Structure 1
């Protein structure tokens, strides 16, 4: 138990600690505790307030020099390589404890992502993004068509039944999607098209090495009860100079929980 004669000293130390944190912005206002989390796929991002770098982020490693901000503060998010501002985080007045979650694929910033829970435990939920550094990519949004895949093991025939098309998928995570489980011995797969068409999203087929362009599918692994953040990208050697069969699907949800 702290004796009364020590209470003034304890209180003074507490005020000193708060003052030191609030020096992130010397213009005093309503104090708010803010943490920034998420994932940065490319570059290193810096967090800047009043022309002062407060911290940075690469991969899932986020660092800040402090946690106390003033309500109304606007924190710049910029690329360390060229100091280009790609977005902002505005500190709300409430609640006191806040968490902002961001995702950056090297081109597009998704700001304040949230994991939406599924409505039924047997379902899976997800948000989609599509990105590729491939120079032959046409550069716009894509449509992702989902199929039910069934394999007839008597004839070894693959049967694909269209389920739904998710339109205008970009480098930023889109709307929340929820799917029921596929039937027994069925699974979910998808194709990717240039938005509004049934064409592959490339300017030409040069360096697009597909064994069967009409049947170039990606697999969607189903996890009941989970909510995911799925980033789709074409397979290839380094992803920049050559495209191969299939798609890579990476779940980034672990960094946003």
Structure 2
């Protein structure tokens, strides 16, 4: 009887073993795969990364810029997900699929507090606001403000093959002075170089060296200071000529040959021209503002004109100076050209109202 029982149990055992060893039914489970995920990016708020209900990585405010986290994750043949949420909340802001291969994988996250992006680009902001304060916005969100010298490398988040809108406006106003497009590529090299005179904004300013290395290249904009009659005179408007002279330390004025006469547009656009070398170290350039094609003054409504009648300056007043230098061969300069007025009471034959040019050297802000 006992022998029959043993035989029965043995037969059952072999039967179960045979059933377990059928094709497609291995005795052991499939080995677990592992992938390595590198998590990089930047964020304005702390983040947590969740995988299979566990926090696998986190980012706090102290390390929010250009963070790097590397994690090893077990995966199956089917894809899994990493959920991204604001730290300490259940607010999932994005998710990322983790496939079973390759072993090394990347996850880039750039979060501005309201939306995630795939890339980060560096946008160079460089310019000068002569008057007023400017606001710089990305998709209507304020990212920077500034006045006078403005130099800032902005970090802008953007999705692959997408664009964002970059605008500039005067603080307190809603009208855009400029609108540009920011693209996802290249990650560096996109920029705005500008000059703002208080009313107009000019961008894409390039300072190019002179074609003749003995000369000095000048990129200039003209803006009159005589916009109200109470200033002593009123600018007529329109294009003007900047007529250049050379004066030495003894006050002797000479006219360059050939004449240097540069037309300055009323639009405020920048004009590039070259000045030849000065004859010696005691000489310097000066200029007058005249009507186009003549030496006539582009002003009207003179105050007390019977006492101080308007007279042509012809280079007798004013000077062009760059720091401690009057001329730099091979240099490229960016200047704002303006007009000034001086009253001269003696000698009697020269009594009058003289208009002459002055400059504001902006070169240092665009180097």
Q: Which residue of 1 aligns with 2:334?
A: 229
Q: 1:83 aligns with which of 174, 177, 180?
A: 174
- Alpha-carbon shift at residue 120 of structure 1 (Å): 4.2
SS in 2 for 1:246: strand
Deviation at 1:87, TM superposition (A): 1.5
1:32 aligned partner: 121
Partners of 2:304 and 2:130 in 1: CA distance? 24
Match of 1:52 among 136, 141, 150: 141
Q: Which residue of 1 aligns with 2:296?
A: 199
Q: TM-score, normalised by structure 1?
A: 0.75
Are the aligned partners of 1:24 and 1:68 in contact in 2 as well (CA < 8 Å)?
A: no
Distance in 2 of aligned mates of 1:109 and 1:234:
20
Q: Is the 8 A contact 2:219 2:271 kept in 1?
A: yes
CA distance in 2 between partners of 1:114 and 1:198 (Å): 30
- 1 or 2 for the larger relative contact order (CA 8 Å, sep ≥6)? 1
The one of 2, 12, 37 aligned to 2:39: 12
Q: RMSD across aligned C-alpha pairs, in angstroms?
A: 3.5
67-76 or 99-108, which deviates more: 67-76
Deviation at 1:197, TM superposition (A): 4.5
CA contact (8 A) 1:25 1:49 kept: no
> Which structure's CA Rg is the greater one?
2
Question: Does the 8 A contact of 1:141 with 1:195 survive in 2?
Answer: yes
User: Is contact 2:287-2:356 (8 Å) kept?
Assistant: no
Structure with the largest fraction of strand: 2
Q: TM-score, normalised by structure 2?
A: 0.55
Find 2:311's aligned residue among 207, 210, 213: 213
Give 1:140's match in structure 2, choosing from 238, 259, 262: 238
Equivalent of 2:262 in 153, 159, 166: 166
Query: Who is 2:359 aligned against?
Result: 249
Distance across 2 between alignment mates of 1:97 and 1:29: 15
Count of residue pairs brought into register by the alignment: 240
CA distance 1:22–1:68, change in 2 (3 Å) = farther
